[in-house]
Chain A
Amino acid sequence: MSYRLQVSIMALILAVAGLSIAWYKAQYLGIPLLPHEKRSVYNVGAKINFEGTGKPATISMALPVYQDGIRILSEESSSDDFGFTIANTQNGKRAEWSRRSVEGETNLYYALDVIIDEHYSMTKPEVDEFDQRKERFSDYSDSLAKAVDTLLEDVRLHSADAHSFTAQLIKEFRSKNPSQTVKMLLSKNNDTKLTLFYRLLRYEEITVRKIRGIYLEDGRRNQDLTSLLEVHDGERWQLFDLEQGKIPKAENFFIWQRGGVSMLDVIGGKGSSITFSVSEHRVPAGQIAEHESMIKQAALMDFSLFSLPTSQQNAFKHILLVPMGALVVVFLRILIGIKTSGTFMPILIAMAFMQTSLVVGLIMFVVIVGMGLVIRSYLSHLDLLLVARISAVVIVVIAIMSLMSIISYKLGINEALTITFFPMIILAWTIERMSILWEEEGPGEVFMQGTGSLVVATLAYFAMSNVIVAHLTFNFPELLLVLLGIIIVLGRYSGYRLSELFRFKSMA
């Protein structure tokens, strides 16, 4: 296999690997591709109100469990003097408050932060854990039972499966001119409408369960939970509203309680009620991605930079920008052919610019190097050995930096204080190299290489200080693989540099 092919394949593999990991993280782990992307976090609050009777009180509330498409970020309860536990009972997860003695009207609060996340799903619970008992209408009169049979027979004729059966049945009940049977069923007040439907569907041996929940919409206050039916057709669950029929898109319906378990049990209190409210907050998507529950969920995130302490995270925010600067240098040297003083010196200068801001940084660089060159030209008369001379230049650079800081601070130019971010050793070497260049090739070449270095540093600065670049490199460090691929391909580029087209102008 030729080297050329190897290089192409390698670069391609790196790029594909980097892009697919990034795509997966963006698509499934909800890490935003753009820095200011925001997502809605819904705060769902339950407020329990009851009157204490002075006796020991135990309050037990059903808690929402796992739901496809809606992710619970955090839960908290506020319950001043109550003991609080979350219990996993046979009736599901429940919040339990208890206190030795409760007097007067008392409020308990429970709140969850949830987000709508279409990719969030776990293995489905088995269908058969739900009520599979045969339903009988023993409480109905014979004639009514017969009429119900006829009604269901009719609905069955107009439907194909469990879902369409349910939809058709709801339609029958909502008809402007309901049939006699429907009127009779509705007039029998033994059951709520929900239970009536439940029984009818169970009579047809359709897998169905009662659902109580709330729509995630901002500004819902003191509301009761909405009751819906969820019908399984052998493949998937479908929500039905008794007033509207089938709910095609129920992604913002947050299910609090499933099945026939009681919502709220209050022992040692009276007049209990429970109300719910929903409020929406727009939160930077990055914050959600960094959320603990998200990190734990994916092994990929557990090994990401988010798992590091914050100070290290901040360090990496800078480190991960270096490859971007390197790409700019590679591009400018291989494709354009700009001469710089020292291959990667411009990146370090660009890093300093990130701290000082561009214009201030450029001015400081020119001043330091300019003053350094003057002093270095005197040092060259002293016949110093190289290492000693460079060390002397380092000290001179530090002196210049301190002096500039003090003078500009006294003058009230606070920007100059950031001068400490310049890499002194690199500056000293730059001064040394330029001074030799000056002696050997003249000031023209010094100007050329100095300008070239600053142009490269400025472009690297723009590449590195770009908000989107900073966001992508930190949140998607696997994109480094893509950069690596690009740099490998550029490393095999054997065509002309732009500068050579000027150079060879006499030839073509």
Chain B
Amino acid sequence: MFFGLIANPFKLKKQGVMGMNRRNVKFISRVNSRRNFPLVDDKLKTKLIAQKADIAVPVLLDTIRYQAELRDLHGRLEKHAKFVIKPAQGSGGRGILVIVNRDGDHFIKPNGDYLELDDIHRHISNILSGLYSLGGKYDVAMVEELVEFDPVFDRYSYEGVPDVRVVMYKGFPAMAMLRCSTKESDGKANLHQGAVGVGIDIATGKALNAVQHDSPVARHPDTKFGFSELQVPHWDKILPLAASCFEITDLGYLGVDIVLDKNRGPLILELNARPGLAIQIANAEGSLPRFDLIDKQEAGLSVEKRVAFSIKNFARLEIKKEPPLDSVSESPE
């Protein structure tokens, strides 16, 4: 419509594409209780409840709560060669500092830049004074073990942190995408900063479609590898891991970010109570029909049943061949 410049809203609606207003009014405010937000807005709390429920997360090395603790920063960081510093209440990937190695007194960033201890000192001080937190609240800096990324994604990621985003609705995995960092996104996996989003088939973990800046792309802009061959490993573990986050947060509309560690397999990186809309573009499919189908299911199913339901009903290849099955009772266990 209009020379391909803008979408036809009626077609979007027919496809069940969810807009920002619908997400806020009909989903976040309805199935996400306010009092559960701190569990996911504070990454430290998320990590603690996840650890308690035996959900795999990157190891927490240290937490810094007060400016005074920074005096001994040198001593505190001495035993760690590679680590990530992040604000517990940061959002949108803001304030995350990744250190991949040390060279004497210098710390090396993924892009090869050298940092002084003072730079890290200032960064943590900014975190504590609330520079990266919503509303400028005082914050806590977390020092996490650096995830040893599974080299399987090396071809699809530039300098950074590829992660799998699974959008959960009422505990059912509804849609998934792989977020690949690019040169433009400065190694970050945020789509609005220029990372590539690759839609992933819920049933198989295979790539469906890729977008950068909301427009389809066939190859990674920096590595030039095509996405069509991409297959997310450990897919059978990723979905149950994501689904189990519903039990610990009780948030009906939840984004689960998962990274693949070379040694430990899939780890929950963080949770998001307001996952964005780009996953639909990456999947080239609206999410509302899937949410509607999930709404028809009974509540209180086990993680395994929910994952099985999603695999059966949201399998992309099968959807194209035959009409979707509309009840979980018909699905085999």
Residues of A within 8 A of B (CB): 334, 337, 383, 385-387, 436, 440-441, 491-497, 500-508
Contact = CB atoms under 8 A, between A and B. Distances in A.
B31 interface: no
Given A386-B130, A500-B20, A501-B12, 12 more contacts: A334-B21, A383-B122, A441-B193, A493-B25, A494-B25, A496-B17, A496-B19, A501-B8, A501-B9, A504-B7, A504-B12, A506-B216
A501 B8 CA distance: 7
B9 A496 contact: yes
B234 interface: no
Nearest to B27: A494
Q: How extensive is the interface on chain B, given as a class?
A: 35 or more
Contacts of A387: 129
Contacts of A504: 7, 12, 17, 214, 280-281
B12 A507 contact: yes
A506 B284 contact: yes
B125 A503 contact: no
Contact of A494 (B11, B26, B129): B26
Given A495-B9, A496-B9, A505 B4 contact: yes
Interface string B115-136: 0001001100110011100001
B211 interface: yes
B19 A497 contact: yes
Contacts of B19: 494-497, 500
A386 B129 contact: yes
A337 B1 CA distance: 20
Residue in B8, B19, B126, B286 with the greatest tally of chain A CB atoms within 10 Å: B19
Contacts of B8: 501, 508
B15 interface: yes
A219 to B, nearest CB: 63
B34 interface: no
What 6 pairs across the A-B complex have the smallest Cβ distances? A508-B11, A386-B129, A494-B22, A501-B6, A496-B19, A508-B7
B263 interface: no
Contacts of A500: 7, 19-20, 277
Contacts of A505: 4-7, 214
B211 A506 contact: yes
Interface of B: 1, 4-9, 11-15, 17, 19-22, 25-26, 67, 94, 118, 121-122, 125-126, 129-131, 136, 193, 211, 214-216, 277, 280-281, 284, 286
Contacts of B130: 386
Given A501-B6, A502-B6, A507 B20 contact: no
A393 to B, nearest CB: 13
B136 A386 contact: yes
**A-side binding surface: helix, strand, loop or mixed?**
loop
A507 B4 contact: no
Contacts of B7: 500-502, 504-505, 507-508
A330 to B, nearest CB: 11
A342 to B, nearest CB: 12
A185 B6 CA distance: 91
A508 B129 contact: no
Given A386-B131, A387-B129, A501-B12, A506 B5 contact: no
A507 B215 CA distance: 9
A426 to B, nearest CB: 14
Contacts of B9: 495-496, 501
Given A387-B129, A492-B25, A494-B22, A506 B15 contact: no
Contact of A337 (B20, B118, B121, B216): B20
Contacts of A508: 1, 7-8, 11-12, 14-15, 17
Contact of B214 (A436, A496, A503): A503
Contacts of B136: 386
Contacts of B15: 507-508
Contacts of A494: 19, 21-22, 25-26
